[in-house]
Structure 1
Amino acid sequence: MAAEPAEARFPVMGSAGHLLVAGGPGLELLALARSRLAALESLWSRFRADSELCRLNASPGRWVQLSAPTAALVRQAVRAWEATGGLFDPTVLPALEAAGYTRSFPDLPPELPSGAAPAPAPGCAGIEIEDDRVRLAPGVRLDLGGIGKGYAADLVAQELLAAGAEGACVNLGGDVRVTGRAPGTGAWTVAVEDEARPGTDLAWLALAEGAVATSTRLRRRWQRQGRQLHHLIDPTSGAPAAGTVVTVTVVAAEAHWAEVLAKAALIAGPPAGVALLEAHGVAGLLVTEDGTAHRAGPWERYVTWTPNSGGTSPASAG
């Protein structure tokens, strides 16, 4: 009988982290992964004045030498902006701050005073990258929170395999990357939480390899002058997205790409969001305010359980 996987749950990158490691020196690998995630957070957090991201944002118009992981993440963020036609836009940081998201979410008060008027995001056209050096145009500052979690999950999952794990699952606030042998004899099973009913599941997905990410405007919300705001910014207006889609889940090869496309599809709305996911060859599920589910690509290929299929899910959403 195979040994139980080593497991750890802990706060990281402003979210809940969950690691599963199958095979290899499990406890040692968990410690390695947690240390790596802490190091990446120290590089990419916009809430740490000494992070590389804050140093870059504070240096408009000047070349800034970055570590290889940070430069690679900025490069991926610019590529994602290009690939989604600007629906995913890492330059929304001023708009996030104007909406009131100025500190780590657990420290954000539920009611905020009035703030600056929203303005469209400037976009990535003026960002220059040469090797590990980056230069931001004046007025451009980056938020790498969402894509950073996905990219960290991708990096750490692969590093765990390289360090001796037979399989690994890295879940950073709902950005999930699985790789290698799953515990037991089957595929990795990923629970997708029903964001409209926290603590219950919308579906269970089976993956031999790959990633699942969910983007939702039902979490990370706050009040300002009686109006409810959230962290998913529409780059064209600079205001929190106001479409009919409340949650998007995407299955893709990599967690950061699933995260990018989930956010872009939520902002695009149906049917444009479905078309976007299918154009990029991924599977997804868009849920609108009235509870209607819009499937994209080969979604059903991954589904092993839904509330409508009978029975109960094996465990609560993770």
Structure 2
Amino acid sequence: MRPDASVESHHFEALGTSCSLFAVGLSHGPLLEGELWVRRLGARLTRFSEDSELSQLNRAAGDWVPISDVMNEILHAALRAHAMSAGLVNVAVLPAMLAVGYTRPLIEGPGVATLESLRPLLPLPDVLELRDGEARVQDGCGVDLGGIAKGWMADRLSETLGPNVVVNLGGDLRARGAGPRGDGWPVGLGGATLLLRNQGAATSSVRRRRWDEGPRGETPPHLWGGGPKGRRGEAATRGETPPHLWGGGPKGRSSEAATRGETPPHLWGGGPKGRRGEAATRRETPPHLWGGGPKGRRGGSLHHLIDPRTGSPARTGLEEVSVVAANGFEAEVVAKTALLLGPDLAPAYCAAHAMAWWLSGTHDD
């Protein structure tokens, strides 16, 4: 193994989250330019600014609106995500987001929830239409690009920066090249350190961006069901704390695509709250069984991940899913789809669509 190459890094807050850029063979200047690109594009894609390109599309009330080339690409990606996920990843989620009180950046506090207005989402192709240089959103509907945009942006920025880089936009991550030691970029994911080369990773979670609906009665601690018929085993383990499961590729195997083992100290973490440091320090460990979640209780809390089948915040028995896939966009789609499928179906789905994965859950029934 060759000696470590020098890694240039840059960290900033954008897109409502923490972002990090890492590169071998670059000066700091291109990373600063990368931040500027993220900020400029984020300003066009946000729903929290009346002047953004996305807001202009949403309020056009069914009229055709000219769109930029980059918006056209991202909207086409959103339609692909809908098809890839059999409708579970649906960016036509804005009315539901507003109904649960996510009316402004959460740093400003949630708005008033109007849960009685929640309805199952329409299929995205019934809401969003595209033609050459134009788009329209059905009257009464709205689009929130969310994680789809972040995954797409991570892929695009990594291709622009250079051949040996990592872009991490709030947990939507793309790694390119061989990393600082030639064996891949060390990435913390679900308590393990993986070596990624020309791959993406993403985490979908209902633990963050959570707020209270209002006073409600106590609910009992959630129980984890360990897969089909609540069985214990490699796929799930029951206990007093919600367990985290590691899957290392198809049939739980490790592979060249996502290698665990002796790696240099990780550079960033992909665990709860996207923290760098302790979330990704464990190496050469067996499948994890340590827990998480807000003390197993939710009460009347709401969150931002909407289940399109109900139009309500997802209650599937999973709280967090992290995956490695071919790129950041695909990782985002697979992670969100798996979380919405729940603990019985997610392991098989991840085995078919992800290179490695990690699940953490608690039943909400």
**Is the structural similarity TM-score above 0.5?**
yes
Of residues 224, 228, 236 in structure 1, which corresponds to 2:309?
A: 236
Is 1:155 the equivalent of 2:156? Answer: yes
Secondary structure of 1:91's aligned partner: coil
Q: Which residue number corresponds to residue 55 of structure 1?
A: 56
Query: How many angstroms apart in 2 are the aligned matches of 1:113 and 1:104?
Result: 13
Q: Which residue of 1 aligns with 2:67?
A: 66
8 A contact 2:94–2:143 mirrored in 1: yes
Percent identity over the alignment is 36
Shift of 1:42: 1.2
1:107-186 correspondence to structure 2 within 5 Å: 107-109=108-110, 113-117=112-116, 118-126=118-126, 127-161=128-162, 166-186=163-183
Tell which deviates more after alignment, 133-142 or 280-289: 280-289
Contact 1:212/1:258 (<8 A) preserved: yes
The residue type paired with residue 215 of structure 1 is S
Q: 1:9-50 CA deviation, whole Å, 9 max, x = no partner?
A: 1101000001111103x2121121011111110111111111
Contact 1:245–1:289 under 8 Å retained in 2: yes
Q: Distance in 2 between matches of 1:64 and 1:181?
A: 42
Corresponding residue SS for 1:263: helix
Query: What residue identity is the alignment partner of 1:225?
Result: G
Aligned partner letter, 2:37: R
- What does residue 14 of structure 1 align with? 16
Deviation at 1:260, TM superposition (A): 1.4
Q: Are 1:209 and 2:198 matched, yes or no?
A: yes
CA distance in 2, matches of 1:263, 1:281: 12
Structure with greater proportional strand content: 1
Q: What are the superposed Cα offsets for residues 162-206 of structure 1, whole Å, 9 maximum, x if unpaired?
A: xxxx4111111111111023113321011125xxxxxxxx22111
Deviation at 1:140, TM superposition (A): 2.3
C-alpha RMSD over aligned residues? 1.7
CA distance in 2, matches of 1:267, 1:72: 25
The residue type paired with residue 195 of structure 2 is A
**Is 1:4–2:6 an aligned residue pair?**
yes
CA distance in 1, matches of 2:12, 2:354: 33
TM-score, length-scaled by structure 1: 0.82
1:271 aligns with 2:316: no
Separation (CA, whole Å) in 1 of partners of 2:302 and 2:167: 29
Residue by residue over 1:120-167, the C-alpha shift from the partner in whole angstroms, topping out at 9 and shown as x without a partner, is: 112212222123321222222101011111111111000112xxxx41
Equivalent residue number for residue 85 of structure 1: 86
1:92–1:143 contact (8 Å) kept in structure 2: yes
Q: TM-score when scaled to structure 2?
A: 0.72
Distance 1:3 1:206 in 2: 15
**1:43-101: per-residue Cα shift (whole Å, max 9, x none)?**
11111111111111011321111111111111111111112111111011110110011
Distance 1:178 1:8, change over 3 A: same
Distance apart, 1:208 and its partner CA: 1.5
Aligned residue for 1:254? 327
Partner of 1:198: none
Q: Is the 8 A contact 1:113 1:225 kept in 2?
A: no
Deviations 1:191-232 (A, max 9, x none): 125xxxxxxxx2211112211101111111000113111111
For the structure 1 residues 62 and 282, does the alpha-carbon distance in structure 2 shift closer, same or farther, using more than 3 Å as the test?
farther
